[in-house]
């Protein structure tokens, strides 16, 4: 388990494949893993990690693959990412066209 994790791509990919995930609260996984799609443990706490693994393994039947996939899609679908990036660019530049796309001053 990671002590520090920038994003947690492997966790997002596993959940997108319909699998629950156990990871550590190490910077990135907290934005991806919820009680609905896995469990988190504190870094450097092997007992908490073991408990989280046991909990997920004992309740595998309660994780519905379609719901797991949807939990990742709601955050990381390309349309959602584009919308967030578009909003950030709009906020920074203050420019927007009628179509909602940005224009450039250069």
C-alpha to C-alpha distance for 37 and 8, rounded to whole angstroms: 14
Entry pTM = 0.74
Q: What is the pLDDT of residue 102?
A: 53
Q: What is the pLDDT of residue 64?
A: 96
Q: What is the pLDDT of residue 78?
A: 87
C-alpha to C-alpha distance for 17 and 14, rounded to whole angstroms: 5
Q: What is the pLDDT of residue 26?
A: 93
What parts of the chain have a pLDDT lower than 50? 106
């Amino acid at each position: 388990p990671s002590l520090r994790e920038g994003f947690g791509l492997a966790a997002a990919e596993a959940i997108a494949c319909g699998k629950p995930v156990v990871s550590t609260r190490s910077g990135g996984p907290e934005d991806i893993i919820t009680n609905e799609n896995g469990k988190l443990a504190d870094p450097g706490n092997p007992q908490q990690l073991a408990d989280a693994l046991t909990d997920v393994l004992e309740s595998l039947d309660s994780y519905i693959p379609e719901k797991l996939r949807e939990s990742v899609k709601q955050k990381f679908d390309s349309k959602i990412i584009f919308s967030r990036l578009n909003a950030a660019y709009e906020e920074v530049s203050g420019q927007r066209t009628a179509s909602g796309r940005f224009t450039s001053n250069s």
